[in-house]
């Protein structure tokens, strides 16, 4: 019963079995030093507090990891500047290509290819059929390929 309640209340708390075990240990330790009037309520309150602590810890940990990854990318002196500039230019070109698409194609390409959503979810989010998502996605990819071919033809050739 405790496991099910924890899974329902704290889905992001991690391993529920660890929380349950820790809660039992704390209840037994408390019982050794004092009388517990309502053991079930005490167990659930202890488990709740442990789960909240775990969720807070995971949030802080993920925020720290995110901040750490940004710092390492900025401070990485070994990164080749030319590669970084080339990547930034490629990203800018991709952004321009996606922006050149018709609205519906742009929405579908962004949700499917950038955010990685499944076709069914994109259809539900945009209020259209899955067939439309598939067709418009194909059109969008074809238009992106044409855009990149045009850009490539316009570039001066190096010899």
Tens of pLDDT, residues 1-56 = 888 888 888 777 778 888 899 999 999 999 899 888 888 888 998 988 888 888 77
Q: Are residues 51 and 89 in the same domain?
A: no
Q: Are residues 126 and 65 in the same domain?
A: no
Q: Are residues 118 and 93 in the same domain?
A: yes
- In angstroms, rounded to a whole number, what is the distance separating the alpha carbons of residues 68 and 50? 26
Q: Are residues 112 and 140 in the same domain?
A: yes
Could you list the residue range(s) of the whole structural domain that residue 102 is in?
A: 81-154
Query: Domains in the chain: how many in total?
Result: 2
* Residues 7, 16 contacting (CB under 8 angstroms): yes
User: Which of 52-66, 72-86, 110-124 is predicted with the least confidence, judged by mean pLDDT?
Assistant: 72-86
Band of the pLDDT at 142, cuts 50, 70, 90?
very high
Domain limit, last residue, from 74, 104, 119: 74
Domain limit, last residue, from 53, 74, 95: 74
The whole-number average pLDDT for the span 64-79 is 49
Domain of 90, CATH number, reads 1.10.10.10
Is 38 part of any domain?
yes
Alpha helices in 34-118 (DSSP H): 39-75, 81-99, 103-109
pLDDT of 155 reads 77
pLDDT of 67 reads 45
Cβ-in-10-Å burial (0-12, 13-18, 19+) of 5 comes to: middle
Q: Are residues 99 and 121 in the same domain?
A: yes
84-90, Cβ contacts within 8 angstroms, sequence gap of 24 or more: none
DSSP state of 156: P
Domain limit, last residue, from 74, 100, 133: 74
Using CA of residue 105, residue 107, residue 111, residue 113, what is the dihedral sign? Answer: positive
Q: Are residues 60 and 118 in the same domain?
A: no
Statement: the pTM of the whole predicted model exceeds 0.75: no
Q: Are residues 6 and 43 in the same domain?
A: yes
pLDDT above 70 covers a percentage of the chain that reads 84
């Amino acid at each position: 019963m405790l496991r099910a309640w924890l899974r329902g209340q704290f889905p992001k708390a991690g391993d529920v079995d660890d929380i349950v075990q820790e809660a039992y240990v704390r209840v037994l330790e408390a019982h050794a030093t004092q009388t517990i009037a309502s053991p079930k309520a005490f167990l659930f309150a202890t488990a709740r507090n442990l789960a909240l602590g775990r969720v807070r810890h995971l949030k802080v940990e993920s925020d720290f990891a995110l901040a750490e990854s940004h710092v390492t990318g900025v401070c990485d002196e070994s990164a080749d500047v030319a590669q970084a500039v080339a990547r930034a230019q490629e990203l800018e070109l991709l952004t321009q290509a996606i922006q050149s698409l018709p609205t519906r194609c742009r929405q579908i390409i962004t949700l499917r290819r950038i955010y990685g959503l499944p076709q069914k979810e994109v259809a539900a989010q945009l209020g259209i059929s899955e067939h439309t998502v598939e067709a418009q996605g194909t059109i969008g990819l074809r238009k992106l390929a044409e855009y990149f071919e045009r850009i490539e033809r316009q570039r001066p050739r190096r010899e």
